[in-house]
Amino acid sequence: MTELRLHDTMAREKRVFAPADPKRVTMYVCGPTVYNRAHIGNARPAVVFDVLARLLRHVYGEDSLVYARNITDVDDRIIEAARVESVEPSVITERFERFYLEDMGALGVAPPDIAPHATEHVAPMVEMIERLIALGNAYEADGHVLFHVPSDPGYGALGRRDREAMIAGARVEVASYKKDPADFVLWKPSPEGVIGWESPWGRGRPGWHIECSAMIRAHLGETIDIHGGGLDLIFPHHENEIAQSRCAHDGSPLARYWVHNGFLSMAGAEKMSKSLGNVVTVGELLLQGHKGEVLRFALLSAHYRQPLEWSGSLIAQSKATLDRLYRFVGDSDVAAADPGVLEALADDLNTPLALSRLSALDDPASLRASAALMGLLTESSAAWFQGEGDARVDALVAARAEAKKARDFDEADRIRAELAAEGIVLEDGPEGTSWRRG
Ligand SMILES: [Zn+2]
């Protein structure tokens, strides 16, 4: 069996990966909060952990992995978006979950085995909070329930920050009802008209961190093999997940390996973030005519732990390489994957090395099989070159339908005009919209 090595954030080093039960490898990755379109930085963990999932299935067997990625569908940003549109929060969350799955699907990201939703797991969250209170790790104050950080001597092991840095970094509200400034919210009250559930502490809603702890316990068990997410989640989110779960589970660790991907930045800018206004969404990139597989290739061009600088030239290089590979593989069969490519991936998911070894292969059938390990070269060569342009029109037609549905008729008209200028005629019918080159 291929020996896999993963960098474990907790151990600060690469470790040989040995699952507790090779027949049931468990992996949990923190998923999206569904209130807006995913930007390309959000897509990085989805693609990275999709490759890791493919590798684990390749090594341990197709049915050996249980991969869960949650959907955060209760959150203050969702509540605010729903208020602005005067709709129920579920209207917002269903819309943006659908967009997320479409966008990730376009990048070749397979859906996880389990996609637990926070709103469907409030009962196990309440149960875990009750247990933490009974054990003296949490307390009720002013309608809130807070986790008492000083009650957990192991707190902070993942990020290894000192206490002052943690308090400053979490930007926690220093509320009068807190026993300690580092204490974080497990449950908070919901006023009339805001989404909420009955609980022993009155009508309210869960804090963010508790959902992952409760859903991991419900679906995967007390200790999982791999917990993943972006570097930005180490503190406070993962630190808090660890504290809640370990305290509720008699000291059992939450995860045996902690895997974190690095940031994505825009060329010439700092970290991509909405507040800096330097965000490009996956949907926008697809609308610009870039193929999902090109974006996927670009995301895998740097090692997952390293920062990745996103730029037009990175996309162009990725497209040129894929064109060359598709020309080379032609209509070849799929043979066994190349051991050198597999070895690179098994060494802490070294995708840049795997891609360079891939490019050097001289057997088309082996190249196709090796690329499949990373979810690449999934189309036939004919489809790859023939579809040029059509995918963009399909994406624009779909965007126009969404705009009409959201009653944004200006945007719908703008898209129709853009396509008309290229000689593309849209025909609206009862089955939806079809298009032809006029
Ligand atoms: Zn989480």
Q: CA separation (Å) from 108 to 36, 74, 101, 281?
A: 20, 27, 10, 16
What per-residue confidence (pLDDT) applies to 389?
63
242 alpha carbon to ligand 1 midpoint, in Å? 10
What per-residue confidence (pLDDT) applies to 277?
66
Q: Is the pLDDT of residue 438 over 80?
A: no
Q: Is the pLDDT of residue 40 over 70?
A: yes
Neighbours of 407 (CB within 10 A): 8
What per-residue confidence (pLDDT) applies to 424?
84
Of 233, 249, 139, nearest to 183 (Cα)? 139
155 alpha carbon to ligand 1 midpoint, in Å? 16
Helix residue ranges per DSSP H, 37-141: 40-60, 76-85, 89-106, 122-134
159 alpha carbon to ligand 1 midpoint, in Å? 15
Cα 211 to Cα 271: distance, rounded to the nearest angstrom: 27
25 alpha carbon to ligand 1 midpoint, in Å? 18
Half-sphere exposure for 247 (CA within 13 Å, toward CB): 27
Q: Is the pLDDT of residue 312 over 70?
A: yes
Q: Which range, of 23-32, 86-95, 260-269, averages the lowest pLDDT? A: 260-269
> How far from each other are the two terminal CA atoms of the chain, in whole angstroms?
56
What per-residue confidence (pLDDT) applies to 425?
87
> Residue 270's pLDDT band (boundaries 50, 70, 90)?
low
Neighbours of 41 (CB within 10 A): 25
What per-residue confidence (pLDDT) applies to 306?
97
399 alpha carbon to ligand 1 midpoint, in Å? 31
434 alpha carbon to ligand 1 midpoint, in Å? 41
Contact by Cβ (8 Å): 351, 315: no
What per-residue confidence (pLDDT) applies to 130?
98
Structure tokens of 252? 């059992």
405 alpha carbon to ligand 1 midpoint, in Å? 32
What per-residue confidence (pLDDT) applies to 388?
62
What per-residue confidence (pLDDT) applies to 393?
83
Contact by Cβ (8 Å): 368, 330: no
What per-residue confidence (pLDDT) applies to 387?
62
28 alpha carbon to ligand 1 midpoint, in Å? 8
Tell me the average pLDDT across 292-314.
Answer: 97
Of 236, 271, 193, nearest to 30 (Cα)? 236
Q: Is the pLDDT of residue 286 over 90?
A: yes
Q: Is the pLDDT of residue 177 over 90?
A: no
What per-residue confidence (pLDDT) applies to 172?
59
Of 220, 297, 337, 282, nearest to 51 (Cα)? 297
Contact by Cβ (8 Å): 81, 61: no
212 alpha carbon to ligand 1 midpoint, in Å? 5
30 alpha carbon to ligand 1 midpoint, in Å? 4
274 alpha carbon to ligand 1 midpoint, in Å? 20
385 alpha carbon to ligand 1 midpoint, in Å? 40
> Residue 391's pLDDT band (boundaries 50, 70, 90)?
confident
DSSP conformation class of 233:
G
209 alpha carbon to ligand 1 midpoint, in Å? 6
41 alpha carbon to ligand 1 midpoint, in Å? 17
Q: Is the pLDDT of residue 272 over 90?
A: no
103 alpha carbon to ligand 1 midpoint, in Å? 21
347 alpha carbon to ligand 1 midpoint, in Å? 25
227 alpha carbon to ligand 1 midpoint, in Å? 9
Tell me the sheet residues that pair with 189: 204
276 alpha carbon to ligand 1 midpoint, in Å? 24
310 alpha carbon to ligand 1 midpoint, in Å? 25
270 alpha carbon to ligand 1 midpoint, in Å? 24
What per-residue confidence (pLDDT) applies to 193?
92
32 alpha carbon to ligand 1 midpoint, in Å? 9
Mean pLDDT of the chain: 93
208 alpha carbon to ligand 1 midpoint, in Å? 8
Tell me the average pLDDT across 68-95.
Answer: 97
**Cβ neighbours of residue 369 under 8 Å, at least 6 residues apart?**
334, 335, 336, 337, 338
Q: Is the pLDDT of residue 332 over 90?
A: no
Cα 297 to Cα 288: distance, rounded to the nearest angstrom: 17
